[in-house]
Structure 1
Amino acid sequence: MNAEFPSGLSAAEAAARRAAEGPNELGTEQKRTLQAIAVEVAREPMFLLLLGAGAIYAAMGDIHEAMILLGFVFVIMAVTILQERRTENTLEALRDLSSPRALVIRDGTPQRISGREVVRDDIVILTEGDRVPADGEVLQAHELATDESMLTGESVAVAKFAGDGAMFAGTMVVRGQGLMRVTAVGGKTELGRIGKSLKDIAIESSPLHDEVGLLTRRLAMIGVGLCLMLSSLYWILRGGWLEGLLAGITLAMGILPQEFPVIMIVFLAMGARRIAQQRVLTRRLNAIETLGETTVLCVDKTGTLTQNRMTVTTLSVGGKCLDAHALPGDNLPEEYHELLEYAVLASEIDPHDPMEQAFHRFARNYLANTEHLHPDWALAREYELSPALLAMSHLWQDHNGQHDVVAAKGAVEAIADLCHLEGSELEEVMQQAEDLAKRGLRVLGIARAEHSANASWPAIQHDFDFRLVGLIGLADPLRDEVPAAIAECRRAGIRVVMITGDHPRTARAIAAAAGIDGDEVLTGAELAGMTTSELARRIAGVNVFARVTPQQKLAIVEALKANGEIVAMTGDGVNDAPALKSAHIGIAMGKRGTDVAREAASLVLLEDDFSAIVSAIRLGRRIFANLRQALIYTLAVHVPIIGLSILPLLLGLPLVLAPIHIAFLELVIDPACSVVFEAEKGSDKLMEQPPRSPAERLVSSRQLVTSLVLGLLTSAVTAGIYSWLISHGKAAEEARALAFVVLVAANTALIFACRAREPGWHKLFDGLARTSILVIAATLTGLAIVTLVPSICAAFAFRPPPLQEWLQAFLIGIGMMALFVIAQNLLQKKGEGTMSFPGNTK
């Protein structure tokens, strides 16, 4: 490809064009506008019930009560809309970060930008594995071909030539390199026109969403039934159908778990944001659900476990080895010059591969100003690496000699095959390679050949008469944090499997240094000869795979899944996409990964760092544990609302709760169940327990028992206090205020009980987040205002009680924390409620 790049647009020109023509978006993503969110919130049953209650108050002539209730409706709607909008902004930011990237030339300099930032007339640099960001025309091409099957249905790659080839947005570069000028973006591209028809396609929900939705619908049906029953009972016992309907609406509002969807949205969106802080982008939110279930983590060696910065360590010629680290200054013995010369000739001119970059760096240091570097030679033909032959060759022309020069590099056994080595000569070379591999080095063979300048080029590499030049050993040091991260995975019951294209000896050495059990190594050649059932059987005890092709990664993933494992898989190449998509959690490399790998994956690592994967799994477990605790709390706080709606009627007492009280409680419950529990740091023991079983329910029967017990305790104490006050001559308004103080204080105590990682007093206040303190403080401040300020008390049908009695009621509510702890300890001992604490996953 021509080294002279066009200068491209200036930053100012690009900004002006984007402002005029809009971003490069296909318009197929289903984004929720502020108006759409408001409409969705207004349709929620809770708000419809509040509006219905306000209408009944107005029909009864109580306009003041109706207006106050309507005010609460708008306050709750505003809080809900604000929270959902914030969540949508979080998701939008993540969408921007995880969108396909494009390498464009701006102000004469290549720059990596988001695909949505590409504008018309941008110059885009394309390489193998890239997703074409927009429609355009080819300016330069070097063996360039694209897969256009997504547009045409034709699976054969389409070759592209400079000045005679159109590129289309969304297609994939499967071979070569090139430059293109963008001619159309966004909806004006061929893919954009097709994409307009996709706007109405619904997004498939995840299993966790389905489970929460089912739980919500069941509770809603129960709420409707009890609402009708209570309304009828009130009408029969006390008369007045409007008052009965109000009582029924109050009960329905108490049962309806409208917080569940809020919890799901907040936890998954904020969880994705927290994971993004670990430099891991979440492309599919349901991956967060699966992280805690991961039992096997399949990882590449290069760049994930290692630093992905290869260095030339050893040179071997004629059986004699040279330690590159021991070289004085820039003095390389002459006998090793040819080996390094042909290693460079067998590499790309402008390499991206770490090994080829290492060859070029080493050559610049030791071959500068010698005849062994050939900047004036022309690369005439490339013979690419293939699954059948793990070697590649370059044919060079110097236009002065009678022979073209061919340089080859690749796996030692492949180079030995090209050189037709046999007998003792082959045995000696393979022993040298094995000795180097035992030291954890990546070993490549280097060969050379000559070809008549006037003869036609052979179709395959085997038709050249190659001669072995020597071997080169390269080292890719292990990342410092890897051994500790793998040890953490082992403690968490997660099996780490390393898959590499390296020599088995190299793989075993790296596995040992990383802490992976690599006593047995399976090679790609062995995998190729196995049946599906045999592979599934053998794979159960093997953690290291060497000489594996990208296509064989898919077979490994499928075999692990067949054994019942929950598999997370890393990958970076075009051919890794099937394995990434097949794995339960596909993890693409952000820096060295291709666009097709990123699009097939659920998670994208911005830094190709193994410890980031472990951090994401830890966060996934924390998010699920906190989500579970939020639901347990939500179920528990609804029980006393139901009890206080029914018990007064059955006991012949004035009603405690009206719709306005439920509205206030909703303002308390929503932030508590979402913001407070989402901010929990989780147990320190989350990564010391086995992975969660996929069959484990979000809220089990044991957890449901815990919620009911805690809720019933709150109901009994609050109803008992209210009944006692009424029986001792306390006015209904004052008794109602004191009972409300007990209820809200007890709900606050319930937060501490539900967030405790383990039962016991010493765990109640551990790691309380600043956000949680603010929410609790705001709740208690609001409680004091509505029960002590006379003008506001009247709106709630309260009468301000004496301060001493208010404090006594508050202490009774907070003091219920002791009952909660006792109940949790008893349930723990009986084997019930074992799952009630975030630290427990079994």
Structure 2
Amino acid sequence: MDLLVAGMTTMPPLPGRSGDPPCEIGGLEEDEARRRLERDGANTWSTGRRHHWVRLLRDIVTEPMFLMLIVATAIYAILGDGGEAAFLGASVLIVIAITVTQEVRAQGALAALRELAAPLAHVLRSGKERRIPATEVVMGDTLMLREGDRVAADGDLIDGTVLVDESLLTGESVPVERISGGAEILVHAGTLVVGGHARIRVTATGERTALGSIGKSIAEASSLPSALQKAAGRIVRIFATIAIALAMLLWLVSWSWAGMAPLDAALAAIALAMAILPEEVPVVLAVFYALGARRIARHEVLTRRLAAVETMGTISLLAVDKTGTLTRNEMAVTALADVSGGVRMATEPLGEAMRSLMSVAADACPRGSLDPTDRAILTFTRTHLHDRAVGDEPVAWHEYPVAPGRPFVSRVFAGTAAGTWTMATKGAPEAIVDLCGLDQETLSRTLAEAAAMAARGLRVLAVAQAAVQGDVAPEAVQSIRHRYVGLVALADPLRCDVPAAMAECRGAGIRVVMLTGDHPATAAAIAVQAGLRSDHLLTGAEIDRLDDETLAIRLRETEVCARVQPSQKLRLVAAFRQAGHVVGMTGDGVNDAPALRAADVGVAMGRRGSDVAREAADLVLLSDRFAALVSAIRLGRRVYDNVHRSMRFISAAHVPIVMLAIVPAVMQWSPLLLPVQIALVEMIIDPACSIVFEATPAARDIMRRPPRRSDESPFASRNVGTGLLEGAGMGALLVAAYGLMLSAGVPAPSARLAAFLGLLATTVVLVLAGGADTAAPAKRTPLASVLVFVALSVAAGVALIPPLRHILGFAGPSLLTLAVPVSCAAGALLWLRFVNYLIHRYAPARTGQDRKPAPHPYREESES
């Protein structure tokens, strides 16, 4: 689409508050911008989060565990047991404190992520263009708008032409055109620039914008629950139903058969329901994913959707861009070749032909471009050509950007005489020579020079010029005969950490495919340096000629795709997914958004990526580094491992409590666990789930195992079943110890104390074991030592503080008080080792090295 780009000569006075100094052509001064920010406030609007704590309180008081504690407290009060009632009342407050603490941790992590995810704006300050958070834009700022930007504030066009998508405000899907000097020059905050570039003068920020006035927020990422969080909610609801049913049954049995008083039987029933209910499950997922995303952000990777944390561990293929991701994105002009075939290094003195070549190349670069190649060419010409100083570049009246079937950029300038135009074009050499109609000798020499430069890993652009007659600018570039000017070769060296990251991907069973718009020879040279194979390289032109079935066959061995158009990336992603891969893909442009959404994990570039790409992506590489993405995958795997470990612990920890609540009632023994004791045990279990296991380091082999299958879940029968088996063995030990003590004539209060301390001891052993099939037990976590200290403090308190013993129904300590917990802990450790043996003997470990990799959807067929 042809876009008018008019030059700016003057800036109209700024409307708005009186007392504001006039806005100069170089934008606001920093001091003035700071003053206006303090006066008007941040450029943001209400997100509804002021009601967050009201919702949190509502969620707390409607939690089944909270309600059961309240009911139990009321029953103790009715029975006249003031101490027990007071203790449970204190437990209620502790539950609230733990919930609030976990929420603060999770929300603090999410707040940090939201701050990183906030859109950025390009502003002109003190004569220089700066990239600042959109929240810091103030009245009177000069905003630079480019294709793909989300407009940060309301403003009037100063110069240029843009197409904006206003569907967020109006619901209309058709973009509208805004032209400086036209009848409608107002551009609204929240709208999307889908074409062109321009500058606007900000007239309203924050809640004073059209978007802010209707109270909508577009700055925050969606916080919809992930698949695992939905599954966790279903599991808790199922167990809550089971708990209520069994509690009612136990109440009837205890009252009618065991002869307990109705209220005492109700306490036993409540204790059973509290023992069964896995209320920690949704908390674990919320806290783990929020804190895991924050850990990933420390590696310069922003998680915009928490569901991506659980998906990263399943990625089996990474489709990555070359420029800026594998390379440094620091382009510099390296070599030049003029029309005569003379090649000269950029460090050598320039002759007239080379000076003409660079002048035309600079004309083909859009003003204010952020593209590294354009910036390198403009920097070179401003340094070596004295007539190309900043601000002296001619103003283009029309531009033809890169588009499907047009791998080059053309810019049109008014000629010296009326009715004449000059066109400067640069782009892929094979496309440019087609515009020039070169003789066979010049054509062969030009393509050979381009191939030789590209083989050295250089990015090669051909440059051409055309003179056009007519009253208006031409409508199509392809129909205009150009004059070939020469070649410009630029270098963008490989990042030094890429080879190691590639090796780590290979060890982790992750295939990497490079997608680039560069020349095949350039792509192949960089691929070899990075550690990729280039012998089955595929080009964009070949992709267009292949049907889907043939493309799938070609992609089996392809690790490099060159001359790829953004529109072709969507087809490639679909092909990789059809072949059975879980795909992570990087992208930065507006046209990359569909492919980013189609990928299982879309990854946008933080520095050079458009706002559209960032909004379509699940992750944002703040530094654009490939190694950072690999680090994010490693941390994502760690988060999943810890969730897996935590769910197994929850399954195991609840079984002994359930058994100690049911068996004494069925056997008509003296009750062992009532709500007060269970509330005390939960103070150990809850922090273990949400704090200790979350901080567990990654297993040593975490990047030496294949990606987990997408259907794997921490709620799978293998993981939960193993936890239930572990808990059943420890529960049997505790029940047997309690029964033996009662049969031996030990008073019930003394037996209860010994069994309760045994329950604490086995729970701590379970925490320190950290899961039988993992390589990073929780005992390596410093927080585990804190948990052990807390457990010992609780044990000492219930054994040595008489008022607390009385509330819990325990007797004073004795030799039995020490012998039973030690014996139970030793027995639990032996039982866990036995379960560990069974798992590794009859079922290969989920995360161990003995597990065979999942079948590679390409490798099997290619080997056959």
Task: Summarize the Cα distance change of 1:36–1:13 in structure 2 as closer, same or farther, 3 Å threshold.
Answer: farther
After TM superposition, give the deviation of residue 429 of structure 1 in Å. 1.9
2:455 is aligned with 1:438: yes
Counterpart of 2:430 in structure 1 is: 413
Alpha-carbon separation, structure 2, partners of 1:137 and 1:412: 40
2:622 is aligned with 1:606: yes
Root-mean-square deviation (Å): 2.9
2:802 is aligned with 1:790: yes
CA contact (8 A) 1:37 1:85 kept: no
Letter in 2 for 1:255: I
After TM superposition, give the deviation of residue 308 of structure 1 in Å. 0.6
- Which secondary structure state, in structure 1, belongs to the residue aligned with residue 752 of structure 2? helix
Greater shift in the superposed pair: 382-391 or 62-71: 382-391
CA contact (8 A) 2:301 2:628 kept: yes
**2:97 counterpart (74, 78, 89):** 78
After TM superposition, give the deviation of residue 319 of structure 1 in Å. 5.8
Task: Give the total of aligned pairs.
Answer: 830
Alpha-carbon separation, structure 1, partners of 2:433 and 2:48: 52
Task: Summarize the Cα distance change of 1:371–1:692 in structure 2 as closer, same or farther, 3 Å threshold.
Answer: closer
After TM superposition, give the deviation of residue 816 of structure 1 in Å. 3.5
After TM superposition, give the deviation of residue 675 of structure 1 in Å. 0.6
Counterpart of 2:532 in structure 1 is: 516
- 1:405-804 alignment to 2 at 5 Å? 405-451=422-468, 456-755=472-771, 758=774, 768-802=780-814, 804=815
Counterpart of 2:860 in structure 1 is: none
Alpha-carbon separation, structure 1, partners of 2:684 and 2:629: 36
Per-residue CA deviation, residues 146-193 of structure 1 (Å, 9 max, x unaligned), is: 222442424244233147411112211123322223333445433345
After TM superposition, give the deviation of residue 361 of structure 1 in Å. 2.8
After TM superposition, give the deviation of residue 68 of structure 1 in Å. 1.8
CA contact (8 A) 1:97 1:114 kept: no
After TM superposition, give the deviation of residue 617 of structure 1 in Å. 0.6
Counterpart of 2:304 in structure 1 is: 283
CA contact (8 A) 1:168 1:189 kept: yes
**1:292 counterpart (313, 316, 338):** 313
CA contact (8 A) 2:602 2:616 kept: yes
Letter in 2 for 1:800: G
- Which secondary structure state, in structure 2, belongs to the residue aligned with residue 460 of structure 1? coil
Q: Which runs of 5+ in 2 are unaligned?
A: 1-6, 11-23, 854-864
CA contact (8 A) 1:580 1:600 kept: yes
Identity %: 40
CA contact (8 A) 2:72 2:270 kept: yes
**1:308 counterpart (322, 326, 329):** 329
Task: Summarize the Cα distance change of 1:30–1:373 in structure 2 as closer, same or farther, 3 Å threshold.
Answer: closer
CA contact (8 A) 1:706 1:836 kept: no
Counterpart of 2:835 in structure 1 is: 824
- 1:26-175 alignment to 2 at 5 Å? 27=46, 33-105=52-124, 110-138=129-157, 140-150=158-168, 151-162=170-181, 164-175=184-195
After TM superposition, give the deviation of residue 548 of structure 1 in Å. 1.1
After TM superposition, give the deviation of residue 838 of structure 1 in Å. 11
State the TM-score, normalized to the length of structure 2: 0.90
Alpha-carbon separation, structure 2, partners of 1:780 and 1:794: 19
After TM superposition, give the deviation of residue 211 of structure 1 in Å. 1.7
CA contact (8 A) 1:281 1:606 kept: yes
Greater shift in the superposed pair: 103-112 or 438-447: 103-112
CA contact (8 A) 1:706 1:832 kept: no
CA contact (8 A) 2:527 2:534 kept: yes
2:407 is aligned with 1:390: yes
Letter in 1 for 2:70: L
CA contact (8 A) 2:332 2:492 kept: yes
Greater shift in the superposed pair: 390-399 or 623-632: 390-399
Counterpart of 2:269 in structure 1 is: 248
State the TM-score, normalized to the length of structure 1: 0.92
Letter in 2 for 1:731: P
Per-residue CA deviation, residues 643-667 of structure 1 (Å, 9 max, x unaligned), is: 0001112233211111011111111
Alpha-carbon separation, structure 1, partners of 2:44 and 2:566: 31
CA contact (8 A) 1:406 1:449 kept: yes
Letter in 2 for 1:834: A
CA contact (8 A) 1:146 1:160 kept: no
After TM superposition, give the deviation of residue 305 of structure 1 in Å. 0.4
Per-residue CA deviation, residues 479-523 of structure 1 (Å, 9 max, x unaligned), is: 001111111111111111111101112111111111112211222
After TM superposition, give the deviation of residue 568 of structure 1 in Å. 0.9
After TM superposition, give the deviation of residue 796 of structure 1 in Å. 1.4
Counterpart of 1:217 in structure 2 is: 237
Counterpart of 2:858 in structure 1 is: none
CA contact (8 A) 1:683 1:838 kept: no
Per-residue CA deviation, residues 565-609 of structure 1 (Å, 9 max, x unaligned), is: 211111111111111111111111111111111111111111010
2:370 is aligned with 1:352: yes
Counterpart of 2:845 in structure 1 is: 834
CA contact (8 A) 2:696 2:777 kept: no
Task: Summarize the Cα distance change of 1:534–1:320 in structure 2 as closer, same or farther, 3 Å threshold.
Answer: same
Letter in 2 for 1:61: G
Alpha-carbon separation, structure 2, partners of 1:651 and 1:824: 28
Greater shift in the superposed pair: 622-631 or 211-220: 211-220
Per-residue CA deviation, residues 233-253 of structure 1 (Å, 9 max, x unaligned), is: 111222311111110100000
- Which secondary structure state, in structure 2, belongs to the residue aligned with residue 303 of structure 1? coil
CA contact (8 A) 1:250 1:645 kept: yes
Letter in 2 for 1:825: N
Greater shift in the superposed pair: 370-379 or 660-669: 370-379
Greater shift in the superposed pair: 190-199 or 815-824: 190-199
Task: Summarize the Cα distance change of 1:66–1:16 in structure 2 as closer, same or farther, 3 Å threshold.
Answer: farther
Per-residue CA deviation, residues 754-804 of structure 1 (Å, 9 max, x unaligned), is: 346648xxx7576x12222222222222221122222222121112313x4
Task: Summarize the Cα distance change of 1:815–1:20 in structure 2 as closer, same or farther, 3 Å threshold.
Answer: farther
Alpha-carbon separation, structure 1, partners of 2:253 and 2:199: 78
CA contact (8 A) 1:754 1:836 kept: no
Task: Summarize the Cα distance change of 1:376–1:122 in structure 2 as closer, same or farther, 3 Å threshold.
Answer: closer
Greater shift in the superposed pair: 629-638 or 85-94: 85-94
Counterpart of 1:229 in structure 2 is: 249
- Which secondary structure state, in structure 2, belongs to the residue aligned with residue 715 of structure 1? helix
Alpha-carbon separation, structure 1, partners of 2:834 and 2:34: 63
CA contact (8 A) 1:319 1:432 kept: no
Per-residue CA deviation, residues 630-684 of structure 1 (Å, 9 max, x unaligned), is: 0100110000000000111223321111101111111111110111111011212
Q: Which runs of 5+ in 1 are unaligned?
A: none
Task: Summarize the Cα distance change of 1:593–1:765 in structure 2 as closer, same or farther, 3 Å threshold.
Answer: closer
Task: Summarize the Cα distance change of 1:373–1:161 in structure 2 as closer, same or farther, 3 Å threshold.
Answer: closer
Alpha-carbon separation, structure 1, partners of 2:599 and 2:125: 38
Alpha-carbon separation, structure 2, partners of 1:180 and 1:373: 21
Alpha-carbon separation, structure 2, partners of 1:374 and 1:260: 61
Task: Summarize the Cα distance change of 1:11–1:403 in structure 2 as closer, same or farther, 3 Å threshold.
Answer: closer
Letter in 2 for 1:286: A
- Which secondary structure state, in structure 2, belongs to the residue aligned with residue 588 of structure 1? strand
- Which secondary structure state, in structure 1, belongs to the residue aligned with residue 445 of structure 2? helix
**1:342 counterpart (354, 360, 363):** 360
Alpha-carbon separation, structure 1, partners of 2:150 and 2:144: 11
